[in-house]
Chains A and B, each alone.
Chain A
Amino acid sequence: MSHCEDGTVSTALSTRPPEDDRRPGELSFRELLRWVWRQVTSMRTALILLLLLALAAIPGSIIPQTGVDSLKTSNWQSDHPKLTPVYERLGLFSVYDSAWFSAIYILLMISLVGCIVPRTFHYWRGMRAKPPAAPRNLSRLPDHATYGTTEAPEVVLERATTLLKRRRYRLSVGDGDAVSAERGYLREVGNLVFHLSVLVVLVGFGLGSMFGYKGGVILLVGDGYGFSNNLTQYDEFKPGSLFRADDMEPFSFKIDDFDIDWLTTGRRAGMARGFESHLSYKQSPDAAEQKYNLRVNHPLSIGNTDVFLIGHGYAPTITIKDADGNVVGGGPTPFLPTSQSFQSIGVVKAPDAQPTQIGLEGEFYPTVAFSDETGSYYSLLGKPYDPMISMLVYTGDLGMNDGSSQSVYALDKSKTTMLTKKDGTPYRLDLRPGETAKLPNGLGSVTFEDVPGAEAGVDRWNKIQISQTPGKWIALTGVVMALIGLLGSLFIRPRRVWVRARREGDGTLVEVAALDRSGGGDVSVVVDELVASLQGPQSDKQQQREDES
């Protein structure tokens, strides 16, 4: 990986500027700045910042985060009233946007830039440099070998040159008795690419979290319902900090049909797979209508926006008539599934009912069954073989008149009374499609409509997630580049090799030495292999040839 200021790898040849002799305490402002810069960009600081970032990421994985799961966070907050203000102060509910988390990674990035820039200059010089001349005493290097031969030094050096060239070394034949060779220049390129790419990823990620958005909507299946991409249509919406509603693309779609494949045999019988929403969509209001089969893991991309299928459920059509016989509430109501067999909960509100407001709250069972054990209904299967709703009736003030927004999936029961039978047990509406029940006291009636054309008379809904993530391609490119750079910086092994041959007595003494510059290589193998090749069959042949001539 990168070696900044004090990253002395096993290079005996690193050059350090000589320390100027200055008295202690004598730092001018410029020198102070330089000192600070050196500290920040030193490898040690980078290391500590890396570990600090790792440490700082931990709280966000244990304390619920607003940005990840706001409901869980607010539940946690109401459970811990004493800790909450302290945590809030420290930004522990949004660790990854907090000032201190940002401070660490920004410092790390500065450290990184401070590392890269000087490195680049250094690298450009190193790129063109010739391999350094052979050290005087090669046998002082940890990996070296010596052998004697009868060949002339020139012959040995000539062969060494050819051998090293074939192994893609850069060569310099210096002062006559030695060959210097170096390889693995690309390691530093890899290193640089890796570190630059980290910056690219950060830019891409930042773009996404600032300008992007993510939202969800529950949309009924059928021709009569549709979605057009503007803020008011979303059930939930999480914008980035710099998101502008103008950036939303003007597409629209509707769900023509929804297919599902219920498993009827095997261990997961009752589970479903093969969800498929048949969408008709328009890129813009004037564009031609297009079709797409939306499936899990196969989002629809419209421009820069992606549309995902992430959930589904039932929407029974329940009609409420009040005492005067007027229809005051109804239509298909999405019920939210709470079990794998699609037992679902839901609420129907009739604020305009006379003489009193009516609210229904209860459950929907796609295939109803009765449990003697618990004394209540449950859903046997997710597929609607025998659908039924079981609802409790509330009358009184539903709390909808004060103008505050209210969830459509919850009933404010604080100012209502539950209807009961004469014996005091709750009055329960158990209805199958097509059935109507009269409410007691002449309050009106409730009908579970049998919707023609819908499977078992019950409508369906899909939960659609929509997101725009600008910069995702930048981030992906960055990560892929980082990986390529990383591979280069880890697996290209730069090393220097020297071969010296000089006359000694009758014959020639050949010295071979190698120096690993990657900090993880074993160059003794390189030396052994090179010595073997220098002495190898080739040299025997050559020797023979010389003998013959």
Chain B
Amino acid sequence: MTDAAWESLSNQAVAAAGLLYFLALLAHLVEWASLRKVPLGTGAAARASIDIPGGVAVATGPGSDEAEGRARRTALFGRLGYLVTCIAVAVHALSLFARGMAADPNRVPWGNMYEFTLTGTFVVAFLYVVLYRKFRLAWMAPIVLAFVLTVLMVAVIWLYAPVAPLTEALSSYWLVIHVVSAIIATGAFTLGGITSALYLVKARGLAKNGPQQTGYVARLPQPEVLDRVAYRLHAFGFPVWTFAVLITGPIWAHQAWSSYWNWDPKEVWAFITWLVYAAYLHARTTAGWKGRNAAILALVGVATLWFNFIGINYFSTTSQHSYAGGAKQIQIVPESHPLNRDF
């Protein structure tokens, strides 16, 4: 296959993955919509059905054919949604692979913002699919899918850049490790942020209306469970982020830039994100901060994370270093972080 063929394959795969995510989202929306009217079961049976790995609580009243039929339909759509998501993740992976193959020489597909976003959304979706059973994430489906779909659209519409070889300074295996870990941590933090947001919604719902019998919020796990899942996602993401921005990033920076920490805006914001998540982990164990405040910190953390990725570029333009009267000087080593991009 030629490079051009690989590139168009990649673009087609992204489109297909987007379509599949959309179908999966629709399936889950149908699932949740048909659950709206179904009251939450009571007693042990309901608890058991919540605990079916990946399954959504479905109350099955004996003798009620209509309810049973509805329950079966609902479960079918839930399974369908998950299955389509799995296929979408596979197609998404194919698009990344093709993107790497389209470059000459072949390389990892993390050369620019478009590719980074493509990979970031892939990791979010992939982690969701993998952790679906372990953490019983059925309740997360519509939100994760909506998030992935939206960010994927942003990537295709605003961030798209044609395949190009990496500049010399970017071909370093330290950079590969740096990017992989940064993307994995971004995925985990994003899922953690979604969970923390739902924790707030659930806790607020409970405080305001008491235990509800119907609706999406009623079917969310208990706040303690959401809090624990959020903690585990963050506890996984934090060391990975530490590794990415405080170990491999500086090592690469030292190799390319001659100093390991340059207070580049991207570095500063990565450090800010690190501090906020450190505060989150401390807050979870501090009286008066655990629960609500900790969850808010997690949301602040994920906001700084995505702001660093896209937002900071609007505030701080790429600074080209220069010797003489303001003239831009071209260097083979970028003066600032490779993901600083002029819009």
Contact = CB atoms under 8 A, between A and B. Distances in A.
A479 interface: yes
B319 interface: yes
A255 interface: no
A340 B168 contact: no
B306 interface: no
B235 interface: yes
A44 B289 contact: yes
Given A54-B276, A266-B104, A490 B235 contact: yes
Interface in A1-25: 1-3, 6-9
Contacts of A444: none
Contacts of B279: 47, 50-51, 54
Given A75-B326, A311-B333, A520-B284, A54 B247 contact: no
Nearest to A205: B261
Name the interface size band of chain A: 35 or more
Nearest to B104: A266
B34 to A, nearest CB: 31
A50 B282 contact: yes
A306 B325 contact: no
B268 interface: yes
Interface stretch (A30-38, A65-73, A321-329, A502-510): A65-73
Nearest to B268: A61
Nearest to B317: A72
Contacts, number: 205
B286 A479 contact: no
Contact of B228 (A61, A299, A491, A520): A520
Contact of B327 (A68, A312, A336, A476): A336
Contacts of A64: 319
> For chain A, what secondary structure do more than half of its interface residues adopt (helix, strand, loop), or is it mixed?
mixed
Contacts of A410: 324-325
A483 interface: yes
A342 B330 contact: yes
Interface in B112-162: 162
B169 A296 contact: yes
**Which of A47, A51, A53, A475 has the most chain B CB atoms inside 10 A of its CB?**
A47
A267 B239 contact: no
Interface string A129-171: 0000000000000000000000000000000000000000000
B284 A409 contact: no
Contacts of A306: 254, 258
Contacts of A520: 228, 231-232, 235, 284
Interface in B279-316: 279, 281-289, 304, 312, 315-316
A522 interface: yes
B332 interface: yes
A413 to B, nearest CB: 11
A47 B287 contact: no
Nearest to A518: B285
Contacts of A57: 268, 271-272, 275
A47 B247 contact: no
Contact of B332 (A7, A9, A60, A312): A312
Contact of A297 (B243, B250, B256, B265): B256
Interface string B248-270: 00111011111111111100110
B259 A469 contact: yes
A519 interface: yes
22 contacts: A43-B286, A54-B276, A61-B312, A62-B315, A68-B262, A214-B258, A214-B259, A267-B165, A296-B169, A296-B256, A296-B333, A298-B255, A299-B255, A310-B333, A338-B329, A345-B324, A407-B323, A466-B258, A467-B258, A472-B254, A520-B231, A520-B284
Nearest 8 A/B pairs, CB to CB: A409-B324, A311-B331, A54-B275, A61-B265, A61-B268, A310-B333, A467-B258, A50-B279
Interface of A: 1-3, 6-9, 43-44, 46-47, 50-51, 53-54, 57-58, 60-62, 64-65, 67-69, 71-72, 75, 96, 205, 208, 212, 214, 235-236, 263, 266-268, 271-275, 295-299, 306, 308-312, 336-340, 342, 345, 407, 409-410, 463, 465-467, 469, 472, 475-476, 479-480, 482-483, 486-487, 490-491, 519-520, 522
